[in-house]
A = this chain, B = another copy of it.
Amino acid sequence: MDTDRDKSISMTDISRMAGVSVATVSRIINQNGRYSAETERRVRDIIEKYHYTPNMAAKGLKTRRTNFVGILVPDITNDFFGWIVREIQNGLRIHGYMAFVCDTDENEEIERQYISMLGAVNPSGMIIISGNTSELGNGLGDLPAIYIDRAPVVGAGEVTVIESDNYGGAKLAVQELYEKGCRRIACIRSARVISTYSSRYSGYRDQLELYGLYADGRLDLRVDEITFQAARQAVEELLDSGAEFDGIFGTADWLALGAVEALKGRGLRVPEDVKVVGFDDISLASLSTTPLTTIRQKTDVLGRTAAEEIVKMMQGSPDWKHRILVDVSLIRRETT
């Protein structure tokens, strides 16, 4: 039936051509010693000649481990995550790992599906960027796992998480607003309970308190979706409500951008009438109508560190769970 489906040769073919046993070929390929230089040369020549590549399925079946790592990402259309994914992949690639990048579109059902599918392909590790996941264990057992950005709801110290200094960043944002004269500062955040946003909100509250400012409940905007549109609408409603404010801290750039849009749409000037600070520093932040002042997250450090850590864990390093904090910085542009 198979006409010539697989041109690729197997270890058996090589062993035959080299006149040695498959065991020897295996040892050579995995550099496990116990073979002569002479034999090695002969085998390697053949490997070279036929472009032999080991069959990962067979290898994985036998060793019960793969060179796959699963990456769960909530929104691949957001370049913030795109940058992180790129960096992770660079880190993984040099160690020979391949990534199943799974875009969950912030949807728990899809996330569940991916987790189940990942369970079947037996990845050696997982990097979860900002997922909903509180349990995860469901399909993936006790796989090495790293969380970036959003920590799962389980007890602290239970997992390894790499995150930006969300709390500190929020304080920086409020500080900038305050120093530029704002005294009534609103905050837009996700209505869902997500550690990232909670931390930023805490930073916002604490910094206000530091200035002896009262955090008016009406200025605490919560949106169901972390999108431009949702933020714009929320701010328009705030405007309609007649509440007074002179600054807005958007806990994500898309939210801040939506806020700016709402403000301008109502004839308010940014930054003259209202100042705005975002969080993340996505590409659009610097290119939008009014370039956005924001808190930059180091996507490269976040991604690179995650890759390094997961590789370590997959290679057997005792994975004592820990937390890595990455610092952030204020990028001052034209909305303040």
A residues near B, CB below 8 A? 5-8, 51, 53-58, 60-61, 64, 66-68, 76-79, 82-83, 85-86, 89, 93, 96, 98-103, 105, 110, 113-114, 116-122, 139, 141, 228, 257, 261, 283-284, 287-289
Find chain B residues with CB under 8 A from A76 CB. Answer: 76, 82, 85-86
Cβ-closest chain B residue relative to A260: B287
In the assembled complex, the CB of A86 is this many whole angstroms from the nearest CB of chain B, namely: 5
Across the interface, A283 reaches (CB within 8 A) one of B57, B77, B139, namely: B77
Min CB gap A289→B, angstroms: 4
In the complex the two chains form, is B89's CB within 8 Å of A103's CB? yes
8 contacts between A and B (CB under 8 A): A5-B64, A53-B119, A76-B82, A77-B79, A85-B101, A98-B102, A98-B117, A100-B101
A110 touches B82 (CB 8 A): no
Q: Give the complex CA separation of A118 and B67 in angstroms.
A: 11
Q: Measured between alpha carbons, how far is A68 from B122 in the docked complex, in Å?
A: 13
Query: Quick check: B257 and A64 within 8 Å, CB to CB?
Result: no
Are A78 and B86 in touch, CB under 8 angstroms? no
A122 engages B82 (CB within 8 Å)? no
List of B residues within 8 angstroms of A102 by Cβ: 89, 98
Q: A76-B82, A120-B54 are in contact. Are A100 and B103 (CB under 8 A)?
A: no
